[in-house]
Chain A
Amino acid sequence: MRTITLSLEPIAGGITLFYAFVNGERVIQDDGSKKRVWEGQIPDSQVKVKVRVIGIDAAQYNLGIDLPGTANDQSITFSLEGGYHEIEILL
């Protein structure tokens, strides 16, 4: 098992809701008023992380992933498109 930390943080514009799923299981579901963090264990085999964010226009948020040995403290800022953004990452 590996320990992973996911974070979703509003950066600019109107962010309404944050969602994060690990292998289809929802681990973050909260409003976008502030940074949301989840820390948990994932199997050593390949894992699918999916993030869905809904908001207004081209609002921006930050996705943070910390998976020691694979993705150490990675952070990316995304812009919504038409009030929505989703991304899938395989780890």
Chain B
Amino acid sequence: MKLKYYCSLLLFLSLNVYAQNAKFEISPYLSGVTSIKDGMLEAGAQFKIRSLIIRPYFRLPLTDKKNSLTQIDRFAETWRSVIAVEYIKDTTKDSEYIQRFMGTFQGEWGYSNFKFCPTGKKTEESSEAKNSFACEIKLVWFRSQGKPSAKQFSPQIRVRYSNEWKSSDEVGVVSSPNSSGVTYTTNMVIDKPTSLPIFSPAFSFQYYPGNGKLSYAPTVYFDLNGKINSYNPFNNLGRIRIELWTFYYPIVKGTPNIQIGVAPFFSIRTFGKDNLRQVEYGGQISFRVGATFLQFF
């Protein structure tokens, strides 16, 4: 089974571009939030109660990313309703260490109606409604001595499980010869939709040495998927992906927090079969605006 997101591995350099967020205050504890990220429009509200932030929102696709970093980058072909709960504990005082912990839980749900023609005739269309869902946990820790040229560390963990239903691919159906003896082909979906369970834990270690405009983030992903139309993500294919990111932060007045990243990567199949070689390698570039050192996953 070939994971779609590995299509990007075949490119030597894939480019990820992120857009900015917008937030507007409705009351001291409630804000409206919109963002465009990875081809997805997100819109919703944000409640802040002391160290807890609760964000219910909708996510809608803006572009077709079928052959890109799907699932792992939270891309979904259909709309999603999302609830995210974020907890922050910051122990920084007015001197000495700067230390911060952030934990986020996110649940996603979407409902789609898929149409297909099992008999190969458009007039005999069937449909099935399916629920897709995903959940994700992120833990981010940051620590620095809080003085000039001090090293900065931020280990980060992200664990995500998703089970998303997708329409089957279109195929060409050959018609019966008409009265002139001409046959033609019509493209249509004839198979039922399928779901794929994916489990992807990931660990990254962000590091800034205290001088210069570069930070580093070695990252390991373990991407697992299960058999089609099941919930178990552990019985079909496993790949470990190692990315060695170097980020550059240019100083551009009026546009803070620009982050340009470059990473070689290696992907190693640990079990199962896919259409790729057991070891794949390549590179990635990312360009982000409005992203801080702490925002990796």
Q: List chain A positions with a Cβ less than 8 A from chain B.
A: 10-17, 19, 21, 24, 26, 29, 31-34, 50, 52, 54-61, 80-86
B213 touches A17 (CB 8 A): no
The residues of A that contact B142 with a CB separation of less than 8 Å are 16-17
A15 touches B211 (CB 8 A): no
A83 to B210, CA, bound (A): 6
Q: Does B291 contact A (CB under 8 A)?
A: yes
Given A16-B293, A26-B92, decide whether A33 and B257 contact each other with a Cβ distance below 8 A: yes
Q: Does B256 contact A (CB under 8 A)?
A: yes
Minimum CB–CB distance for B94 against chain A, Å: 4
Segment 250-274 of B: residues with Cβ below 8 Å from A: 250-259
A58 to B208, CA, bound (A): 13
**Residue of A12, A29, A57 touching B92 (CB-CB under 8 A):** A29
A34 to B21, CA, bound (A): 10
Sample of 9 more A-B contacts, CB < 8 Å, known A52-B98, A59-B249, A83-B211? A11-B256, A12-B253, A17-B142, A21-B93, A33-B21, A54-B144, A56-B249, A82-B210, A84-B148
Q: What 3 A-B pairs have minimum CB-CB distances, sorted nearest first? A: A82-B149, A10-B256, A14-B249
The residues of A that contact B208 with a CB separation of less than 8 Å are 56, 83
A19 touches B259 (CB 8 A): no
A12 touches B152 (CB 8 A): no
Minimum CB–CB distance for A15 against chain B, Å: 6
B94 touches A12 (CB 8 A): no
Given A33-B291, A57-B211, A57-B249, decide whether A83 and B257 contact each other with a Cβ distance below 8 A: no
A60 touches B211 (CB 8 A): no
Minimum CB–CB distance for A50 against chain B, Å: 5
Nearest CB in chain A to that of B291: its residue: A33
Q: Does B169 contact A (CB under 8 A)?
A: no
B292 touches A33 (CB 8 A): yes
The residues of B that contact A24 with a CB separation of less than 8 Å are 93-94
The residues of A that contact B211 with a CB separation of less than 8 Å are 57, 82-83
A54 to B208, CA, bound (A): 11
The residues of A that contact B294 with a CB separation of less than 8 Å are 16-17, 31
B256 touches A17 (CB 8 A): no
Segment 230-283 of B: residues with Cβ below 8 Å from A: 249-259
Minimum CB–CB distance for B188 against chain A, Å: 46
A29 touches B90 (CB 8 A): yes
A52 touches B94 (CB 8 A): yes
A84 touches B146 (CB 8 A): yes
Given A14-B293, A31-B292, decide whether A82 and B148 contact each other with a Cβ distance below 8 A: yes
A5 to B141, CA, bound (A): 30
**Residue of A12, A56, A86 touching B252 (CB-CB under 8 A):** A12
Q: Does B65 contact A (CB under 8 A)?
A: no
> Can you list 12 A-B contacts (CB < 8 A)?
A11-B254, A12-B254, A12-B255, A13-B249, A14-B257, A16-B142, A17-B100, A26-B93, A31-B295, A33-B21, A52-B98, A84-B148
B98 touches A17 (CB 8 A): yes
A32 touches B249 (CB 8 A): no
A65 to B122, CA, bound (A): 68
Minimum CB–CB distance for A84 against chain B, Å: 5
**Residue of B100, B148, B259, B292 touching A83 (CB-CB under 8 A):** B148
Nearest CB in chain B to that of A84: its residue: B148
